[in-house]
Amino acid sequence: SRYGALTDDLAAVCLTDVQPVPDQSTALRLVVLADRLYDREIPVLASGLPFDRLFSDEMLNGGYRKKYFRAISRLTALARDAKGLIAQ
């Protein structure tokens, strides 16, 4: 995928001023990015909104809810990994 090629040589990703995802198509793109980062074990440093507030209640109760919850879980795990890097 395009995200796979973009993330191949990254040591970490920094997300600044994280905001709620505005629409379903953007949300699904974020899910794919989260999956690629997780598959490659790339830590994510982030500021702004916590990941569990990225998606609206409507999204979290809709047909793609499993994907959104997976993305939240994976991004949160990668952020924990990034905190370990900072502590070193």
What is the tens place of the pLDDT at every residue in 30-50?
Answer: 999 999 999 999 999 999 999
What domain range is 35 assigned to?
2-87
**CA nearest neighbour of 79 among 14, 31, 22, 25:** 14
Report how far residue 16's alpha carbon sits from residue 34's, in angstroms, rounded to the nearest whole number.
15
pLDDT digits (tens, 9 = 90+) for 47-76: 999 999 999 999 999 999 999 999 999 999
Interior/surface letters 4-32, b for 16+ CB within 10 angstroms, e for the rest: eeebeeeeebeeeebeebeebeebbebbe
Question: What domain count does the chain have?
Answer: 1
CA 79 to chain centre: 9
The residue to which tokens 């709620």 are assigned: 20
- What is the reported pTM? 0.90
